[in-house]
Amino acid sequence: MLHFENSAVEIKNLTKVFGEHTVLNNLNFDIPKGKITTILGFSGAGKSTLLKHILGLHKPTSGQINVLDRDLSKMSEVDLREFRQKFGMLFQYAALFDSMTAKQNVEFPLKEFTSMTPEEVNNRAETLLESVGLEEFSHNKLPSELSGGMRKRVGLARALALSPDIMLYDEPTTGLDPITTKMVNDLIVETGEIHKEQQMSSIIISHDVQATLKISDYVAFLNRGNIVEYLPASEFAKSEHPLVQEFINL
Amino acid sequence: MEMVQGRFENFVSGIGRVIIQNINGLGSIFKFMLSFFYWAVRPPIRPRLLFEQLEFIGNKSIFIITLAGSFTGMVMAYQTYFGFQLINVDSLVGPVTAISLARELAPVLTGLIVAGRAGAAMAAQIGTMKVTEQVDALEVMGINSVQYLAVPRIIAGTLSVPMLSVFFLFIGNVGSYFVGTKALAIDEAIYLSKLGDFMFLTDIWQGVIKAFFFGFVVSVIGTYFGFSVTKGAEGVGKGTNLAVVWGMISVLVLDYFLTSFLVQVL
Ligand SMILES: Nc1ncnc2c1ncn2[C@@H]1O[C@H](COP(=O)(O)OP(=O)(O)OP(=O)(O)O)[C@@H](O)[C@H]1O
Ligand SMILES: [Mg+2]
């Protein structure tokens, strides 16, 4: 199991039980700062549940989660809400607010959480949208008028609005065509590169093994609520774990 | 014999299950209501969202309330008249119609209409946001989804229904007055003077107080079923449906209890 000097997330003995169902089982997991780490695993393995614990949306049944050196269990509800501004999240289907235009979506967190003037908000939103490659004529379109790939771009711009320290990607390429998939993967890498100085960490949940191995620095395999393999991406394909081999060769 | 017994047990346990499910459901609606109160009084307050909802629930219901109110008043005038003329008290059509409207018809029908229109829309909007992860997106940003989505809708609903109900009452009386004095030839002066003699402010208050509770309950139910949607478009449809059915039933049931209470205290 990998450990890091400089970790963004440290999980110790995390167990989560829903009713009688143990979803995360005494899980230990270190996620490094400034790198791209991907969590692979079969459906129902507990990936989304793990992500929600990192965000403090779920409380552990037992165990400890430190994010950016802060113990989430010691934080009040109010602190946690504020702390979440350190996260940006790109949802599988972008989860744009469908009553707002692309630009309004990006402006939303800026208006809610900063004291920028309307003009500053507007400029920042335009810069963000340009940085993810959304052409100007699409800035004032509603999500329903955008293609899947364009929505992802807007979702990414919105997630980056408050300059997060940790970017989370939930199945960023599931259900996209090959060209859009490549575009999204490139965007993830680029986003990591652009924010390298700031040591932005990226955490990806994925089913897509090939892309994962290409774009990640580290890959973890989650099975039945436990990390059963955790390696640098370059070594992952050589893992001898039978489930990992099965997953890779699917 | 055994088969009959088996069926009987199935039947009993089936009923038991339905009762338990409904009690659980009531419990979670109650919890949801508490979280509404918790978040309603906490900053930040977002007046723009409240005004948007007031505009949607209140303002945009005016046309349909006008239609419903005027026809209800008109038909009430007819029905009352045909009963009352038999015993020669047709001059009382005005106050009787007005009192029924004020105490029952205006608040109840307004509640039902808002349950069908706004309650359904609340469940559909929030349900859609739930299944497309927009609710999660809010939470991940650190914005409480109950505060952002439910609080403005519930406050707007609670304020709108009494106002719409008073409007319904007014329009209903206009309808009744026209039918009474024009179609049924009751003397205009008599109609109005009897109205003044028999109709009191408490009649109006009773309706307004009821409407206030109807608005609250219908919006709580609408938003609750929105949040309870879990899966896909089908789930949204189901949630919307439940919001309308339970919103309407709650109005009718609550009406009985509120009335039995209010007639004693007012
Ligand atoms: N809130 C909850 N209450 C009860 N059980 C839950 C809850 N959330 C998740 N589970 C259960 O936990 C298990 C893991 O779910 P999770 O969504 O984390 O899996 P996943 O790895 O993200 O799967 P997928 O790839 O399908 O998204 C599942 O069996 C699920 O039913
Ligand atoms: Mg998942």
Q: In degrees rounded to 5, what are phi and psi of residue A26?
A: 50, 55
Q: Say if residue A230's pLDDT is above 90.
A: yes
- ipTM of this complex prediction, to 2 decimal places: 0.89
**Closest C-alpha residue for ligand 1 atom 25:** A43
The pLDDT of residue B265 is 86
CB contacts, 8 Å: B140 with chain A: 55, 57, 84, 87, 89
pLDDT at B174: 96
Residues of chain B in contact with residue A112, where contact means CB-CB under 8 angstroms, are 141, 143
Q: Closest by alpha carbon to A168, among A70, A245, A53?
A: A53
Per-residue pLDDT tens for A116-133? 999 999 999 999 999 888
Q: CATH no. for residue A54?
A: 3.40.50.300
Question: For B136, which of A80, A85, A95 is closest by C-beta distance?
Answer: A95
Between the CA of A48 and the centroid of ligand 2 the distance, in Å, is: 4
Contact between B90 and B180 (Cβ < 8 Å): no
Residue A142 lies in a domain: no
CA of B136 to the centre of ligand 2 (A): 13
State the pTM of this model.
Answer: 0.89
Residue of the CA atom closest to atom 31 of ligand 1: A44
Share of chain A above pLDDT 90, in %: 68
Which residues, 6 or more positions from B175, have their beta carbon under 8 angstroms from its beta carbon? B69, B70, B71, B72, B73, B74, B77
In a domain, A131, yes or no: no
Cα dihedral B153, B156, B162, B163, rounded to 10, equals: -140
Provide the pairing of β-strand A87-90 with A36-40. unpaired
pLDDT of residue A173: 86
**Which residue among B132, B142, B144 sits closest to A95, beta carbon to beta carbon?**
B132
Domain boundaries, chain B: 1-39, 48-265
- What percent of chain B stands above pLDDT 90? 74
Which residue of A lies nearest to B133 if distances are taken between CA atoms?
A95
If we measure between CA atoms, which residue out of A16, A18, A17, A15 comes closest to residue A26? A15
Mutate to test the interface with A, among B132, B153, B236 (most CBs of A within 10 A): B132
Q: Is residue B165 pLDDT above 80, yes or no?
A: yes
CA distance A113 to A123: 16
Is the pLDDT score of A95 beyond 70? yes
H helical segments located in A84-173:
102-113, 118-131, 148-160
Name the minimum distance, in Å, from the CA of A52 to any CA of chain B: 9
Q: Provide the 3-class DSSP secondary structure of residue B105.
A: helix
Instruction: Please say whether the beta carbons of B89 and B188 come within 8 A.
Output: no
Average pLDDT over residues A73-93: 91
- Give the tens place of pLDDT for each residue, B106-146: 999 999 999 999 999 999 999 999 999 999 999 999 999 99
Please check whether residue B55 touches A, CB under 8 A: no
A84 neighbors B140 (Cβ within 8 angstroms): yes
Q: Is the pLDDT of residue A182 over 90?
A: no
pLDDT tier at B3 (50, 70, 90 boundaries)? low
pLDDT band at B2 (very low <50, low <70, confident <90, very high): low
What residues in B contact A56, CB-CB < 8 Å? none
The domain tally of chain A equals 1
Q: Which residues line ligand 1 (CB under 6 A)?
A: A 18, 21, 23, 41, 43-49
Positive/negative CA dihedral, A154, A157, A159, A161: negative
Distance between start and end Cα atoms, chain B: 58
- B5 pLDDT above the threshold of 70: no
Q: Domain span at residue A225?
A: 7-99+165-248
The answer to whether the Cα torsion of A72, A77, A78, A83 is positive or negative is: positive
User: Is A11 inside a domain boundary?
Assistant: yes
Residue A153 CA to ligand 1 center (angstroms) comes to: 27
Q: How close, in Å, is residue B124 to chain A by CA atoms?
A: 13
Q: Cis ω on the peptide bond leading into residue A232 (within 30° of 0)?
A: no
**DSSP structure class, residue A145:** G
